[in-house]
Amino acid sequence: MRKFLISAALVTATAISAPASAQPWDQGRHGWSQPAPRNAERQIHRDIERLEERILRAQDRRRLHPRDAVQLRREVNHIRQLFFRYSRNGLSHRQFVELRQRIDQAEERLRWLQRR
């Protein structure tokens, strides 16, 4: 009898947990499937433009080697292409965070190259 009750309890627990495990992990609680902040597209576009201006200014002031400037511009162009591709249907929070990180990395690289 005891073995029967234990096996019945296991079957019940499995049956209850199966639908929960079939649900997507995120469920929108962590914001990844949520839309980006309201002014996210404007903010990303503005940051890309500022980064390009900073690269030009650094090159004009001879604080950045032309070869490094070309590589940075290539990075910025890649970020811009991603931005246009992502923003066709509106940015998700995940896409916004990815673009923000890429811009931050490019800005950090620009600062590092100027110090050399």
State the maximum Cα–Cα separation within the chain, in Å, rounded to a whole number: 86
Backbone dihedral angles phi then psi of residue 4, each to the nearest 5 degrees: -65, -45
Domain boundaries, the chain: 40-116
Q: Are 113 and 86 in contact (CB under 8 A)?
A: no
Residue of 22 and 85 predicted with greater confidence: 85
Question: What average pLDDT does the chain have?
Answer: 83
The answer to whether 31 and 93 are in contact (CB under 8 A) is yes
Give the predicted TM-score (pTM) of the model.
Answer: 0.70
Name the pLDDT band for 1 (thresholds 50, 70, 90).
low
Residue 49: what pLDDT? 97
pLDDT per residue as tens digits for the range 45-92: 999 999 999 999 999 999 999 999 999 999 999 999 999 999 998 899
Cα dihedral angle (109, 71, 46, 111), rounded to 10 degrees?
20
Residue 72: is it exposed, middle or buried by C-beta count within 10 angstroms (0-12/13-18/19+)?
buried
Sign of CA dihedral 106, 108, 112, 115: positive
Q: CB atoms < 10 A from the CB of 106, how many?
A: 23
What is the mean pLDDT of the segment spanning 30-42? Answer: 77
Kindly report the backbone phi and psi dihedral angles of residue 92, in degrees, each rounded to the nearest multiple of 5, phi listed first. -85, 170
For residues 82 and 99, the answer to whether their CB atoms sit within 8 Å is yes
